[in-house]
Amino acid sequence: MSLYAKRGVSAQKEEVHAAVQHLDQGLFPYAFCKVYPDYLGGDDAFVNIMHADGAGTKSILAYLYWKETGDASVWKGIAQDAIVMNLDDLLCVGIYDHIVFNSTIDRNKHLIPGEVLQQIISGSQELFDTLQQYGVNIHYLGGETADVGDVVRSVAVNGTMTCRWPKNKIISNEKIKAGDVIVGLASYGQARYETEYNSGIGSNGLTSARHDVLSKYYAQEFKQSFDTNLPDDVVYIGKHRLTDTVTLSQTGNGQQTTIGKLLLSPTRTFAPVLKPLLEEHYDKIHGLIHCSGGGQTKCMKYLPVHVSDGSKTSGASGNNLRVIKDNLFAAPEIFSIIQQNSGSNNKEMYEVFNMGCRMEIYCSEKDAPLMIDAAKSLGIGAQVIGRVEAAAKKELLLQANGETIRY
C-alpha cells in the first residue's frame, strides 16, 4: 500500500467515482466539468455549469506556517488555491468570463480568529481584481462562514463557481484524436501576473507533501494538524522545518526561498493564457486537461472513446487512443524534495502530483506554436510534452528520469 493510501487519501478517488457513477453525467461525458441544459434561462443555445472545489489540506500548512512565523498573509494564498481549483477546471470546458463565485469557510473558532478570515476574504477579492486586468471577470457573491469546531480541526476553505455559457463554445474533449500533440503549460516559475517564484505544487497531494517533507516536530507541537489515528510511521516523516532555506538551482536561477514558501505557493491560474486562445482560436483547441487530482494520469479519465464507425460511446469497448508523454518538463525542486524525503517511486509521484505541468492543451501539431507563444508571452514555460496515437486500448505511457511508466 502506498503512503498516500495509508494516510487515508486516494489519488484516483475510486470510492467517490463509484458513489456518483449512476448520476446524470451531463451533456458531454468527456468534458472536464459536468455541463447541463440551461435550467436557469431555458435557452437551448446555452448551458449551465456549477463547480465545487477547494484548497484541501493545504490550509493545514498555512496554519502551521502562520503559527510558526506569525505571517498571516499566507492565508491569501489559500484563498487563491480555492478559487483557482474551480476556475481552471472551468477553463477546461472553455469558460473564462462572467463567472459567479461563492466561498465556503468552515473553521474552528478557537484556533482560527477573525484575522485569518479577513486575510482569506481580502485575498479572494485581490485575485479577482488581478484577473479582471486580463479580462477574466469573476463576481464575488459572498458565501458561508461557519464555526464548526467539532467537525474541522483548523479551517477548510472551499468554493463554488457558476456560469451560463453558449453551448457552441464548450470544449467537450470529443475532438481529441490520434495525431494530436499535447502542449503542456508549466506550473512553476514566475508568471507575469505573479509576485514571486511559484514552486508549481498546486493544491493536490498536499497530505503527502506535508507528511513526507516536514519533521516530527509538527506531530509533537501541533496535534491538531493531523489525524491522530494514523500510524506514527506515516506522520511527519521528513527532515524539514517550514523555515528551512532552499536554493533553487534547477528552476529558480539560484534564488533562495524556504520549504514553507515552496509548499504554500498559491496555485497558478492559466486563465490569462487561455482566455485569448479560447476567444480567438476556439476551433484549434481539441481538448483541455487540468492535471489536478491524479496528476499526470488525469487525462485518462477524459479521453473520448471512438468506435470503428468514427462515432463515440461512453462504453469501455472500442477504445483506440493512447497518450504518450515523452517530453515532460524536468520536475522542479519541490517534487525532488518530496521524493527524496518519502522514497516514493516515479509511478506514484506522477500519479499524485502534477510534477511541474498542470495544464494540457490538445491540438494539431501545426497549431502548437500558437499555444506555446501565448504562454511564453506571459512568462509561463510551455512545450509539446507528448502526443496522441491510435491504439488497441486506452493507455498512458509516460517517460520520467529514464524510466517508461505505463498506466
Please, how many CA atoms are within 13 Å of residue 215, restricted to the half-sphere of its CB? 8
CATH architecture classification, 3-199+264-406: 2-Layer Sandwich (3.30)
Provide the terminal-to-terminal Cα distance of the chain, rounded to the nearest Å: 17
C-alpha grid cell, residue 107: 473553521
Residue 307: closest CA among 294, 289, 320: 320
C-alpha grid cell, residue 306: 471512438
| Full pLDDT tens readout for the chain, 407 residues | 566 577 767 555 566 556 666 677 799 999 999 999 999 999 999 999 999 999 999 999 999 999 999 999 999 999 999 999 999 999 999 999 999 999 999 999 999 999 999 999 999 999 999 999 999 999 999 999 999 999 999 999 999 999 999 999 999 999 999 999 999 999 999 999 999 999 999 999 999 999 999 999 999 999 999 999 999 999 999 999 999 999 998 776 789 999 999 999 999 999 999 999 999 999 999 999 999 999 999 999 999 976 444 555 443 334 589 999 999 999 999 999 999 999 999 999 999 999 999 999 999 999 999 999 999 999 999 999 999 999 988 999 999 989 999 99
C-alpha grid cell, residue 57: 489540506
Print the SS3 string covering the chain. Answer: CCHHHHCCCCCCCHHHHHHHCCCCCCCCCCCCCCCEECCCCCCCCEEEEEEEEECCCHHHHHHHHHHHHCCCCHHHHHHHHHHHHHHHHHHCCCCCCCEEEEEEEEECCCCCCHHHHHHHHHHHHHHHHHHHCCCCCEEEEEEEEEECCCCCCCEEEEEEEEEEEEHHHCCCCCCCCCCCEEEEEECCECCCCCCCCECCCCCCCHHHHHHHHECCHHHHHCHHHCCCCCCHHHCCCCCECCCCEEECCCCCCCCEEEHHHHHCCCCCCCHHHHHHHHHHCHHHCCEEEECCCCHHHHHHHCCCCECCCCCECCCCCCCCEEEEECCCCCCCHHHHHHHHHHCCCHHHHHHHCCCCEEEEEEECHHHHHHHHHHHHCCCCCEEEEEEEEECCCCEEEEEECCEEEEC
Give the start-to-end residue ranges of the domains of the chain: 3-199+264-406
